[in-house]
Structure 1
């Protein structure tokens, strides 16, 4: 109706035309553009515009009708009668419109793709089969610092010069590029390391068109922070945080590698186990921060003392292990050990205080002392304990006899754990005499062990073992009860000793139940607190200062007298001892 009205027909004339010609017009316009339809107003009922013509030409593409071309004109013979020509005009118009739409859609797609690529965190580079640059995103130019003018020129050679100057291994970069161009279908992923410390992950895959490789796409991602984090995690997994030395895991892996090489080459490998002597006393004197400072000092000295190719690791609190591969003789390990001993025993200052530190070292040698890492470590540890038994500040080389000694110690420990219940322990008393009057004023309780097979076991054989295993706590309580009972008995019999002295170990002082145990022993036997003296070693006083001061203050408040024995063998000073509620000090001969 609108087209007919535009032609100048009235509404009634238009209705008549559609009534008579509508079906033919519809067939023409839906016939896939097979021919053009011509409508003349000269037809009956067409109105007063005779001699004019309206031609409707379907506008079609190859697959669909897009619209209608309307042509108005005067009627002339033969004019617009070539329907094939009109159909071709309609088809040409349809294809042109489709092409414009495709170009618009293509431009929108290209714009979307470009925007997407520029917003990614990866640098993208697209090259042709010859390597010439065809496309790139803004991130690529930014990451590599290549001027856009060079990239837009497509000159891959000039762009490559910017790349190679930044890399740690430019030759490897070139080799990988050549390898991929020689294998067009190959994909690749690796890391590029820059001179400035950056790390890029590089990924490359072929670009295909209709199944054929026509170039290559490269993507680059900055993974510097991720790589640093991975390296940190890897370092922490294999290194000691405090000293930076390899840890136990790294040490054991290195030892297995060195042993495998020694087997192939028929060489010797020495393993050394080192423990700082009385490190806990240092730690308790200046605190954990001071102890850490000492560990860092000696760790640096250990690194300086060994050869290139040797390994030193921290495997515990104050325990260090060494691997000395390729030694000619066992004595070679002894030379290194003596160098370490001399270095450690040098006077040093830690946390503002002077210390004389020593160490004990045990040595085992492959293959005579063990064929695997576990055996060598175990035997070096055994030798180290023998060095401590021999006065510390020395080194010992493992011998099979040491293992027998260790087994004997384990057996002794087992027997000691049953000594109380078997009533094998007993007390002897050493009188304390007032030189001015000659009177016995007190007595020191001395613990003894009568072993059913070994006979009388000396205190220096089993007391350290009891302290190490914790058996000293129940044994110490038994001694307190026995000494209180004896002191009360002397008093009731009117005998000389006015008080009894009991040694208390560091392990007992650290236990929260010491005050209660003393109170029970006194109450059980009705002994006055002033009749009980407690003797502590200097080392016991120096451990965990705040808890020790609290415990000693409570004991002193009960009325007990407190004494420090063997003063001068540790790290304290008389000024330092003023902080503690001490009544008496026994000074060691070596002070």
Structure 2
């Protein structure tokens, strides 16, 4: 097979002409590209030549029109400027005619009134105008009044002009404006100044003149000269006589451009400038060229594009196709060789999906030889019973629509052994664009699929372990929480939940071992699975805690009935290794069917019902009721209030005085905890301490009491009524708290000893080395260590010796009955004897009567405490008692009492 394919590819390569034919094709392609470039350069040269011709033609043909347009534009500009100047002069003349008639002006000229301020007020209107000056002359030409800057010689010249006319003519006939206007040149600024002169007459005689000067802001012909060239701004003012003579003074090719300034006898003049016309011509050429450049760019660009497409592109396409043909023939031979050498199975089918060629790797993968595969349909040849029908349907749909497709499916070898392949099928089109063949490439992915299956099995197993209890196989707490959140919590219908907690299970572990306990747990899980309904859900959420979620539609009665059945099943004796194990169970049932709680609150409600069952003797079934619900709400409210009370420091200390048994002087006070509730008043620890313990907030409350007790002791010492000792109840954890010492250092306490009362349980419990180290540190700092409630539990004499406390307090349950019980008195006597033998001071609490005090004093107690002396006091009441009884340090004899308010130093 391989040799035949190679022979066919070699013959195809020889027919293609080899490298020589490819080189020839490349040469023709290069010639086509050169032809295209030459065509582009020819079109570009024609484009540039056309632009140049158009530019010169516009320039020379438009010159006469430009000259005419320039002259007309300049003439119109001159007329506009002349009208503007004439309007200014008319304004001045009108103002003068108005002022001349003023009586104050006439009186000033005739000499009747030499006080000029009235005339000046009249002429103030002229002073406010820009570029205007004025003067008043008498009949001799002597200035009477003039504005600053007015030239006197010009005023005399104007006066001489007035004298030329008789007074009768001036007064009877309107003077032409030209006779009233004079032009002069200023040496200061070189601008034209127009003088408007009007006579002031009285009784037919000219008595003086009123002259107003207006700056035109244009030069006169005298200032620039007729021989100087005119620039764009060289408009000049000249008389009409000068305008008529200008042709004799200059060699002009064109007549000057001018415009008369009204009837003043002057004109605004400018000579035509050929340089400006030439500039205007080039501006026009530039504008035309701009339009031509962009206007001609589109057709010429079209010539380049379409010309290349018509002339050079076909040639280039022909050359490219020849090169492509030569290259494709070579590539076909190379691809055939690559396909033959490929390790992936490749086959080609015709349009009827029959195999017409395949590579050797196909035979290796499937086991079919060439003669067995050619002409066969690949699906019928390779697919079998485990091949997925949906995958086959997708393959057939892709082939029918002539689109590529990739799938993974099971095929079968010639020997019937299945294997997984990653199959890619692509359609192949002929020269006419019609799909006539298909190529399929297969990769063996059996090992990959087996690895994925193993990973999936491991994942499912891991997930099962994560959601199920390893011992019982029941769903664990995580699975139960998911069920309660996802299914029950979102269910609109009422649901029921049963909480199960084993009774006396710890005794099984302690008595028979944990293996027996595990056996019991399996027995309980089997009982749960046997009793629950098929729609129910049972899970283990703790060591000996289980939960059962009843299926939809099952009521609270169903839950109670299930609990009763489970109660009987769980109580049965369980035999493990010949040992009988017995346990019971308490049940809490909660349902949302009465609307008291929601489905999301079922677990909390079932816990509350279970707690009630435990509190009322165990091995019971309790249904969550409105009464329990109210209690839960109260506890929830209490927990919130406790947290608020800690934040606001509502917990306050009270003081239980301790007195010397002999002198009955105050030897100290025990700090007791109270809650100053803002609404319920003072609460004792039994009203809030259980809840605070469940919330793990007792240490925070103890810290508040500790700080406030120390602050009260420091204040009593400051006012001279210090206590010999102040005692605090602490646990083992607080003793190990390093903050205990640092807090006391914050308060100025010198003569008051701080004592810590520890429960008797520390005498029998194994304490850590850190606890013993901290006790030693406290003693070194002057603190006293006392044992509280001695005799209430299993007191250890060895533990008492190891702790070696400074004092021990006998529990009040042994003190109260000593009046009527001789045995109790003997017991107390022995406890006092133990204390004496170890050198430990003995305190008796619960002293309620004077008889108690007498008996305890006779039994040898050192310190007494109880209601007989005082109930718990606040600081003020404690101060009163200290002042009344006086104080004495513990252990000090009554022969040397301390005065009230004084105690020995702790140093």
Q: Residue 97 of structure 2 corresponds to which residue in structure 1?
A: none
Pair 1:534-2:753 in alignment: no
Q: Given that residues 330 and 365 in structure 1 are in contact (C-alpha distance below 8 angstroms), is that contact kept between their aligned partners in structure 2?
A: yes
Give distance in 1, aligned partners of 2:725 and 2:496: 55
Q: Given that residues 779 and 785 in structure 2 are in contact (C-alpha distance below 8 angstroms), is that contact kept between their aligned partners in structure 1?
A: yes
Q: Given that residues 431 and 440 in structure 1 are in contact (C-alpha distance below 8 angstroms), is that contact kept between their aligned partners in structure 2?
A: yes
Give distance in 2, aligned partners of 1:367 and 1:274: 20
TM-score by length of 2: 0.36
Q: Residue 208 of structure 1 corresponds to which residue in structure 2?
A: 427
1:459-474 alignment, distance < 5 Å: 459-474=685-700
Partner of residue 480 from structure 2, selected from 225, 229, 251 = 251
After superposition, the C-alpha distances for 1:354-404 in whole angstroms (9 at most, x for unaligned) are x99998764322433578642334433444555566577765432233333
- 1:560 is paired with a residue whose SS is strand
- 1:185 is paired with a residue whose SS is helix
Q: Residue 80 of structure 1 corresponds to which residue in structure 2?
A: none
Structure 2 CA distance for partners of 1:430 and 1:512, relative to 1, 3 Å = same
The offset of 1:535, in angstroms, is: 2.0
1:169-208 alignment, distance < 5 Å: 171=386, 173=387, 175-176=389-390, 179=393, 183=397, 185=399, 187=405, 189=407, 203-208=422-427
Give distance in 2, aligned partners of 1:230 and 1:539: 57
Q: Residue 364 of structure 1 corresponds to which residue in structure 2?
A: 590
After superposition, the C-alpha distances for 1:514-573 in whole angstroms (9 at most, x for unaligned) are 4544x55997364446x543227679968x96765665565576652456889879xxx9
- 2:339 is paired with a residue whose SS is helix
Q: Given that residues 271 and 377 in structure 1 are in contact (C-alpha distance below 8 angstroms), is that contact kept between their aligned partners in structure 2?
A: yes
Structure 2 CA distance for partners of 1:432 and 1:499, relative to 1, 3 Å = same
- 2:749 is paired with a residue whose SS is helix
After superposition, the C-alpha distances for 1:142-200 in whole angstroms (9 at most, x for unaligned) are xxxx8x5799965999x999997xxxxx65x35346545754638575688xxxxxx99
Q: Residue 337 of structure 2 corresponds to which residue in structure 1?
A: 108
Give distance in 2, aligned partners of 1:235 and 1:586: 60
Give distance in 2, aligned partners of 1:480 and 1:249: 41
Pair 1:409-2:628 in alignment: no
Give distance in 1, aligned partners of 2:769 and 2:626: 44
- 2:688 is paired with a residue whose SS is helix
Q: Residue 88 of structure 1 corresponds to which residue in structure 2?
A: none
Q: Given that residues 658 and 666 in structure 2 are in contact (C-alpha distance below 8 angstroms), is that contact kept between their aligned partners in structure 1?
A: yes
Give distance in 2, aligned partners of 1:317 and 1:510: 30
Q: Given that residues 713 and 749 in structure 2 are in contact (C-alpha distance below 8 angstroms), is that contact kept between their aligned partners in structure 1?
A: no
Partner of residue 325 from structure 1, selected from 541, 551, 555 = 551
1:345-494 alignment, distance < 5 Å: 362-368=588-594, 373-387=599-613, 396-417=622-643, 425-427=652-654, 429=656, 446-449=672-675, 451=677, 453-454=679-680, 457-480=683-706
Q: Given that residues 252 and 373 in structure 1 are in contact (C-alpha distance below 8 angstroms), is that contact kept between their aligned partners in structure 2?
A: no
Structure 2 CA distance for partners of 1:465 and 1:383, relative to 1, 3 Å = same
Give distance in 2, aligned partners of 1:331 and 1:414: 34
- 2:686 is paired with a residue whose SS is helix
Q: Given that residues 585 and 619 in structure 2 are in contact (C-alpha distance below 8 angstroms), is that contact kept between their aligned partners in structure 1?
A: yes
Larger % of helix: which? Answer: 2
Q: Residue 12 of structure 1 corresponds to which residue in structure 2?
A: none
State the number of aligned residues: 452
The offset of 1:462, in angstroms, is: 0.6
Q: Given that residues 424 and 441 in structure 2 are in contact (C-alpha distance below 8 angstroms), is that contact kept between their aligned partners in structure 1?
A: yes
The offset of 1:463, in angstroms, is: 0.8
Give distance in 2, aligned partners of 1:396 and 1:134: 78
Q: Given that residues 341 and 394 in structure 1 are in contact (C-alpha distance below 8 angstroms), is that contact kept between their aligned partners in structure 2?
A: no
Q: Residue 112 of structure 2 corresponds to which residue in structure 1?
A: none
After superposition, the C-alpha distances for 1:197-249 in whole angstroms (9 at most, x for unaligned) are xx997644435343356475554351454565566667767864894565666
- 2:399 is paired with a residue whose SS is coil
- 1:427 is paired with a residue whose SS is strand
Q: Given that residues 273 and 321 in structure 1 are in contact (C-alpha distance below 8 angstroms), is that contact kept between their aligned partners in structure 2?
A: yes
- 2:495 is paired with a residue whose SS is strand
Give distance in 1, aligned partners of 2:499 and 2:785: 44
The offset of 1:407, in angstroms, is: 2.8
Q: Given that residues 421 and 442 in structure 2 are in contact (C-alpha distance below 8 angstroms), is that contact kept between their aligned partners in structure 1?
A: yes
Structure 2 CA distance for partners of 1:427 and 1:509, relative to 1, 3 Å = same
1:78-93 alignment, distance < 5 Å: none
Structure 2 CA distance for partners of 1:562 and 1:303, relative to 1, 3 Å = same
Give distance in 2, aligned partners of 1:137 and 1:575: 91
Structure 2 CA distance for partners of 1:111 and 1:333, relative to 1, 3 Å = same
Unaligned runs of 5+ in 2: 1-13, 23-325, 411-417, 430-434, 814-907
Partner of residue 497 from structure 2, selected from 271, 292, 297 = 271
Pair 1:524-2:749 in alignment: yes
Give distance in 2, aligned partners of 1:430 and 1:341: 55
Choose 336-345 or 307-316, whichever is displaced more: 336-345
Give distance in 2, aligned partners of 1:341 and 1:439: 63
Q: Residue 250 of structure 2 corresponds to which residue in structure 1?
A: none
Pair 1:560-2:785 in alignment: yes
Structure 2 CA distance for partners of 1:103 and 1:297, relative to 1, 3 Å = same
Structure 2 CA distance for partners of 1:390 and 1:564, relative to 1, 3 Å = same
Q: Given that residues 302 and 340 in structure 1 are in contact (C-alpha distance below 8 angstroms), is that contact kept between their aligned partners in structure 2?
A: no
Q: Given that residues 522 and 528 in structure 1 are in contact (C-alpha distance below 8 angstroms), is that contact kept between their aligned partners in structure 2?
A: no
The offset of 1:109, in angstroms, is: 1.3
Q: Given that residues 127 and 217 in structure 1 are in contact (C-alpha distance below 8 angstroms), is that contact kept between their aligned partners in structure 2?
A: no
Structure 2 CA distance for partners of 1:567 and 1:176, relative to 1, 3 Å = farther
Structure 2 CA distance for partners of 1:539 and 1:561, relative to 1, 3 Å = closer
- 1:333 is paired with a residue whose SS is helix
Larger % of strand: which? Answer: 1
Give distance in 1, aligned partners of 2:480 and 2:546: 10
